[in-house]
Amino acid sequence: MKTKAPVLIATLVAFALFAFAPKSDFQKPWPVPDAWKNKVNPIKGDAASLEKGKALWSQHCKSCHGSKGKGDGPKASQLDTEPGDFTKASFQSQTDGALYYKTNAGRDDMPSYKTKIPDANDNWALVNYMRTFK
Domains of the chain: 29-133 (1.10.760.10)
Q: ∠ CA 15-20-22 to the nearest 5 degrees?
A: 130
The torsion defined by the Cα of 61, 124, 97 and 60, in degrees rounded to 10, comes to 10
Asked whether the CA dihedral 56, 62, 64, 65 is positive or negative, the reply is positive
Which letter does DSSP use for residue 107 in this model?
Answer: B
Amino acid (one-letter) located at 71: G
pLDDT at 18: 43
pLDDT at 24: 46
Q: Which stretches of the chain score pLDDT less than 70? A: 1-27
What is the C-alpha to C-alpha distance for residues 132 and 63, in angstroms, rounded to an integer?
Answer: 18
Backbone angles phi, psi at 110, to 5 degrees: -80, 110
What is the C-alpha to C-alpha distance for residues 99 and 97, in angstroms, rounded to an integer?
Answer: 5
Report in angstroms the alpha-carbon separations of 97 from 59, 85, 103.
Answer: 22, 18, 10
pLDDT at 28: 82
